[in-house]
Amino acid sequence: MRKLLLLGMAICASFLGFTQSTPKYSNEFLSIGVGARAFGMSNSLVASADDVTAAYWNPAGLLRQEDKIQLSFMHSEYLAGIANYDYLGLSALVKDQAAIAFSMIRFGVDGIPNTLELIQNGQINYDRVREFSAVDYAFLLTYAQKTAVEGLTLGGSAKIIHRRAGEFTTAWGFGVDIGVQYRTANDWQFAGMIRDATSTFNAWSFNFTEAEKAIFESTNNIIPENSLEITLPKILLGAAKKFDFNEEYSLLAEVDLDINTDGKRNTLIRTNVISADPHLGLEASYNKIIFLRAGLGNFQQEQNINFEQEWSFQPNIGLGLNLGQLTIDYALSDIGDQSAALYSHVFSIRASINAQN
């Protein structure tokens, strides 16, 4: 019980201790990804996104979907089930020239112990321990349009961000994503996307009682103040090629490059201004029914037990089953140090409604 309370106090202090806006790692929950297909390919889907999840990966890809209406849902758990990550998407083709979509993303940690009032007048009272949730939401409204250039499509998403931690703090934000896809006659696919193209602004508002403020002061903690958090643009580039060996077997290969503009990160390519993270994915298909996927990404430099720097990477694998109106995808994603074998199981389902003939 003591360890649980200490964990609760640590989480409260870390989350509520946010006092200044910073561009680095802002709204990072929106960099996780959606759809088990993408997870199995190490999020290498900017150029080849062609279903409802394209509203997230590249809005221009919405026009590639083969069905009139698509509905998708995904669930995964992180940190041994402490955090839950969910996605819901709905898309529809508007005639042959445009497509629209609505998406919702939720990342949350529930049941966090609030121990601010655990001790009063020198007495410990566990009845004062309450629970709260730290939750991040994103709502995306997406539109894609064909152009006069054969094979070229454009798209954009307007997104609303809502983040909160119990009754202590809330944040509202707004941003825009834009993307482009180009597909050649011989199945080469090229794409670019700017996430948070206009920068995304989160306005944080904190709400503490006088008693809670007194607790912060007595424990030498800083009382958070209302602030503005800015998420700088992120550029995603991708190139993909589909190889059809015969009528039954095919292979899709994609290489992507994520370019962050918020300064130096622990990535394969890094400067004081930008950092670039390459990743690649493969998808083998049998008769467009069974799919095998694999990917590599998240290249980082780490310090081993001998205090030596070495490079690590994140391998992912996945499976897909197309049952006509229903597609089921699964991915086994390595989200931690490889030696710790910390994996996340990701499941997603996509339903086709009013499929085109």
Residues in the chain, overall count = 357
> Mean pLDDT in the chain?
84
Question: What pLDDT digit, counting tens, does each position of 71-98 carry?
Answer: 999 998 877 778 899 999 999 999 778 9
Which CATH number applies to 2-355: 3.30.390.10, 2.40.160.40, 3.40.50.720, 3.40.50.300? 2.40.160.40
Residue 38, phi then psi, degrees to nearest 5: -65, -40
pLDDT score of 10 more than 70: no
SS3 content of the chain, % helix, strand, coil (to 5): 15, 55, 30
The better pLDDT of the pair 124, 320 is held by: 320
Question: What pLDDT digit, counting tens, does each position of 218-263 carry?
Answer: 777 777 788 888 889 999 999 999 999 998 999 999 999 999 888 8
Whole-number pLDDT of residue 103: 97
Q: Which two tokens stand for residue 306?
A: 């001998």
Name residue, tokens 């979509």.
101
Query: Alpha-carbon distance 29 to 138, whole Å?
Result: 9
Question: What pLDDT digit, counting tens, does each position of 181-222 carry?
Answer: 999 988 899 999 999 998 988 898 888 777 777 777 777 777
Per-residue confidence band for 307, with pLDDT thresholds at 50, 70 and 90: confident
pLDDT score of 18 more than 70: no
Question: What pLDDT digit, counting tens, does each position of 256-275 carry?
Answer: 999 988 888 888 888 888 89
Whole-number pLDDT of residue 201: 87
Residue 53: which residues within 8 A CB-CB, separation 6 or more?
Answer: 34, 35, 37, 38, 45, 72, 89
Whole-number pLDDT of residue 116: 72
Question: Do the beta carbons of residue 158 and residue 100 sit within 8 Å?
Answer: no
pLDDT score of 54 more than 60: yes
The domain locations on the chain are 2-355
Query: Alpha-carbon distance 30 to 6, whole Å?
Result: 29
Residue range 304-324: average pLDDT? 86
Whole-number pLDDT of residue 355: 54
What letter does residue 340 receive in the DSSP assignment? Answer: G
Per-residue confidence band for 19, with pLDDT thresholds at 50, 70 and 90: very low
pLDDT score of 278 more than 90: yes
Whole-number pLDDT of residue 130: 80
Per-residue confidence band for 14, with pLDDT thresholds at 50, 70 and 90: very low
Query: Alpha-carbon distance 280 to 297, whole Å?
Result: 7
Strand partners, 188: 241
